[in-house]
Amino acid sequence: MQEIVQLILASGKSAIDLALYILLPVMVLMMAAMKLAEAKGLLSLIARTLSPALKIFGIPGAGGFAIVQLLLVSFAAPLATLTLMEKDNTTRRQIAATLAMILTMSQANVVFPLVAVGLDLGAIIATSLVGGLAAASLTYYLFTRPLAEEIRSAPPAAEKKTKETKTTALNIMITGGQEATQIVLNSIPILVLAIFLVGVLKASGTIAFLGEFLSPALGQIGLPGIAVLPIVTKFLAGGTAMMGVILNLLQEGSLSVVELNRIAGFIINPLDIVGVAVLISAGDRCASVVRPAIAGACVGLCIRGVLHLLIF
């Protein structure tokens, strides 16, 4: 019983340290910058510029906005874009392609903290784009081809009556910072639970067993057995919890920076139980295409993973 209490306290401390001293400063600054860019029309300009190229891969123009949100804010940020797609004339095939792309690419809330400890930012963004576009194309042209398409007319735009308010750049950035703070605070419970679960698996010897069992296979691609820990954590507890495990392994010296970059293509993405549940909450049409989207994302992740193994 004493060991369980100690494990609970250690999990809480690790979760708080991770949320307040790593996630919070990064997310506040990034969200503030994104809010300001959105208010100035920069994000809309990016989406319009990327639209002609993205249509080739089955992604609607709004998909460019989702890419920016994912790469510069967090895995949950594209939820707003998916929600808009639910309400306009975007087809289910296009929604599926966009969802597959999002599930394949790297999320900013994990990437930027890990960049501070050695993750290669250029490589992770480049492979995200390659893998994400490949996943979208396969989903649109292959995995969702049997879908009966329904092209719905866009609902009439409601007249918006807004009061003219004087909004300064500082106020916009403060609003972004407040939203980021709420996101971080909301992540603390799942962080505590996830880190505790990983602690239980580690204390029970389950992780060590999996490490020994999978070590020969991992060794063939130049990865240590300890890589099983972040991999298992990722798919059981999500990307944020996986990031906490990786930071601990790097501090202990159990995982090197090169090894981090080698496995990054496989594990830094929103394709886990938590990520999928959040993203398909956008609406019924989004939830209805989750299977082909996941299938496309799995292929895209294989492409990303192989690229990282070749690069590093």
pLDDT the model gives residue 88: 79
- Identity of the residue numbered 262: R
Which of left, alpha, beta for 301 (phi over 0: left; psi -120 to 50: alpha)?
Answer: alpha
Read off the pTM: 0.74
Q: Residues 290-296: what's their mean pLDDT?
A: 95
What one-character DSSP code corresponds to residue 21? Answer: I
- What pLDDT is attached to residue 292? 95
Pick from 307, 231, 234: nearest CA to 271: 234
Q: Would you say 180 and 187 are in contact if contact means Cβ atoms under 8 Å apart? A: no
Closest CA to 27 of 88, 109, 102: 109
Q: What is the pLDDT of residues 159-213, one digit of tens each?
A: 444 444 457 888 888 988 887 788 678 768 877 876 787 778 778 888 778 777 8
Q: Is pLDDT above 80 for 63? A: yes
Q: Would you state the pLDDT for residue 101?
A: 97
Helical axes 24-39 vs 62-72, angle rounded to 10° = 150
How many alpha carbons fall within 13 Å on the CB side of residue 132? 28
Indicate the domain borders of the chain.
Answer: 2-147+169-311
With cut-offs at 50, 70 and 90, classify the pLDDT of residue 147. Answer: low
Residue 56, pLDDT score: 94
- How confident is the prediction for the chain on average, in pLDDT? 83
Output DSSP code: residue 19: I
More reliable by pLDDT, 35 or 9: 9
The first and second tokens of residue 297, run together, are 């994302």
Q: What pLDDT band is residue 156 in, cutting at 50, 70 and 90?
A: very low
pLDDT at 130 over 90: yes
| Most confidently predicted of 194-208, 229-243, 294-308 | 294-308
- Read off the pLDDT of each residue in 117-135 and give the average, rounded to a whole number: 96
Backbone angles phi, psi at 28, to 5 degrees: -60, -50
Q: Give the pLDDT confidence score for residue 78 in this predicted structure.
A: 84
Residue-level pLDDT at 106:
95
Stretch (H or E) spanning 181: helix 169-203
Q: What are phi and psi of 276, to 5 degrees?
A: -65, -45
pLDDT of residue 248: 83
pLDDT, one tens digit per residue, over 238-281 is 787 788 889 888 988 888 999 999 999 999 999 987 788 778 87
pLDDT for residue 269: 95
Residue 151 in this model has a pLDDT that exceeds 50: no
What is the sign, positive or negative, of the torsion defined by CA atoms of 278, 279, 285, 288?
negative
58: left (phi over 0), alpha (psi -120 to 50) or beta: left
Q: Which of 96, 101, 65 is nearest to 80 (CA)?
A: 65
